[in-house]
């Protein structure tokens, strides 16, 4: 099923006799079994006001279309959304609704927040086929903000997105990436923490043990970037000499970090969310075939042999692990959170027709 309007989407949901498996651009794994429904027909930018830093777009709009429109005005989505196709071996077209449904966020999350932090409004169809609007088109309109944030990352289990509104930001004039070589995971975490807590506005920090490289990124006006990069290099001197990458290499590195290119190869891929200071111990416990640290160590990508029970290997820790390749395996919820989730689903989807969303 491919509705072309929000009204058609609402009609389909109202008439559903069983679960609906929602899909955007088919770049991520499909959700639970059910009648397939794609939001790809709900496409197009409905409002873009560069002067107000505001973008309103239908949920099925391809990310490439949005990025091209923003680039033409020297702007961008702050949260640097990931493209999952390389990691998951899928085809298709990434859509903005998929990014919101999964709260997809890239390396810049450590400073600008996640997808939900740029989201200022949503329109969606709930499990009874009702069209719900929440939030607004400007940041000062805070009505219903909790519901806006609730839909981000809900995986289509509370409603099927039809339109989303964002605050966008100016694109950086330039960027500088400093690379440190040969650090252990523990040393890399300390170096990244030093950069991220410095006054030099580092907005991304990652470490690839296989490449033996640690990267820290600065963005802004050319003169400011040059100054801050020099000061950051001095601050990091205790960890070794830094190498400043050229712009092409910098863009390539962060695209690879964003899309977890280091996870290429056979096996299951997991995302671990944890305190950066715990990353060295968790990496050691994981015994992974490939590792990538992002968000200064707060996000750990690992690739392990197919069928590995990674949670058993990791044991108890302050965080959670989610399998994203080899079958989607969401972390178990604490009893109190599970009760809250059940209550929300009963409110938004009392008939149980929203099986969840791929993207």
Q: How confident is the prediction along the chain (359 residues), in pLDDT tens digits per residue?
A: 899 999 999 999 998 888 888 887 777 765 556 778 888 899 999 999 999 999 999 999 999 999 999 999 999 999 999 999 999 888 888 999 999 999 999 999 999 999 999 999 999 999 999 999 887 654 444 444 478 889 999 888 899 999 999 999 999 999 999 999 999 999 999 999 999 999 999 999 999 999 999 999 999 999 999 999 999 999 999 999 999 999 999 999 999 999 999 999 999 999 999 999 999 999 999 999 999 999 999 999 999 999 999 999 999 999 999 999 998 888 888 899 999 889 999 999 999 988 766 55
Instruction: For residue 251, give every residue at least 6 positions away whose Cβ sits within 8 Å of its Cβ, in sequence order, or none.
Output: 175
CB 239 within 8 A of CB 191: yes
CA distance 302 to 291: 5
Predicted local distance difference test score (pLDDT) of residue 29:
63
Contact by Cβ (8 Å): 280, 189? yes
Q: What is the pLDDT of residue 96?
A: 95
Residues 6+ apart with CB under 8 A from 223: none
241 by Cβ neighbours in 10 Å (0-12 / 13-18 / 19+) ranks as exposed
Q: How far apart are CA 180 and CA 172, in angstroms?
A: 23
Cβ 180 vs Cβ 236: under 8 Å: yes
pLDDT for 215 equals 98
Tell me the chain's radius of gyration from C-alpha atoms.
21
Rounded Cα–Cα distance for residues 217 and 245 (Å) = 10
pLDDT, residue 142, reads 44
Strand residue runs (E) in 168-254: 169-170, 174-181, 202-208, 213-220, 242-244
pTM, full prediction: 0.91
pLDDT given at position 328: 82
């Amino acid at each position: 099923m491919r509705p072309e309007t929000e009204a058609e989407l609402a009609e389909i949901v109202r008439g559903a006799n069983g679960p609906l498996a929602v899909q955007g651009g088919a770049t991520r794994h499909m959700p639970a079994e059910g009648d397939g429904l794609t939001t790809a027909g709900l496409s197009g930018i409905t409002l873009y006001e560069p002067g107000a830093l505001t973008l309103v777009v239908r949920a099925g709009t391809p990310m490439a279309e949005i990025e091209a429109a923003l680039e033409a005005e020297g702007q961008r989505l702050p949260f640097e959304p990931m493209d999952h196709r390389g990691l998951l071996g899928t085809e298709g077209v990434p859509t903005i609704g998929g990014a919101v449904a999964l709260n997809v966020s890239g390396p810049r999350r450590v400073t600008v927040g996640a997808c939900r932090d740029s989201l200022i409004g949503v329109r969606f169809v709930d499990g009874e086929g009702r069209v719900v609007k929440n939030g607004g088109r400007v940041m000062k309109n805070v009505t219903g903000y909790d519901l806006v944030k609730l839909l981000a990352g809900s995986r289509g289990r509370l409603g099927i997105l039809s339109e989303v509104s964002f605050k966008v930001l100016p694109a950086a004039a330039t960027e500088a990436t400093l690379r440190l070589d040969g650090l252990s995971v523990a040393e890399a975490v300390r170096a990244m923490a030093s950069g991220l807590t410095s006054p030099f506005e580092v907005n991304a920090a990652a470490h690839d043990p296989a490449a033996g490289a640690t990267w820290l990124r600065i963005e802004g006006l050319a003169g400011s970037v040059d100054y801050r990069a020099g000061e950051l290099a001095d601050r990091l001197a205790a960890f070794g000499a830094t190498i400043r990458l050229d712009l092409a290499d910098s863009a390539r590195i962060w695209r690879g970090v964003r899309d977890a290119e280091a996870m290429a190869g056979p096996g299951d891929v997991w995302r671990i969310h944890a305190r950066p200071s715990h990353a060295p111990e968790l990496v050691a416990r994981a015994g992974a075939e490939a590792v990538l640290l992002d968000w200064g160590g707060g996000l750990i990508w690992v690739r392990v042999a197919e069928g590995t029970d990674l949670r058993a290997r990791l044991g108890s820790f302050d965080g959670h692990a989610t399998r994203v390749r080899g079958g989607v395996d969401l972390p178990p919820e604490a009893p109190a959170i599970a009760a809250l989730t059940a209550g929300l689903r009963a409110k938004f989807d009392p008939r149980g027709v929203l099986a969840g969303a791929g993207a």
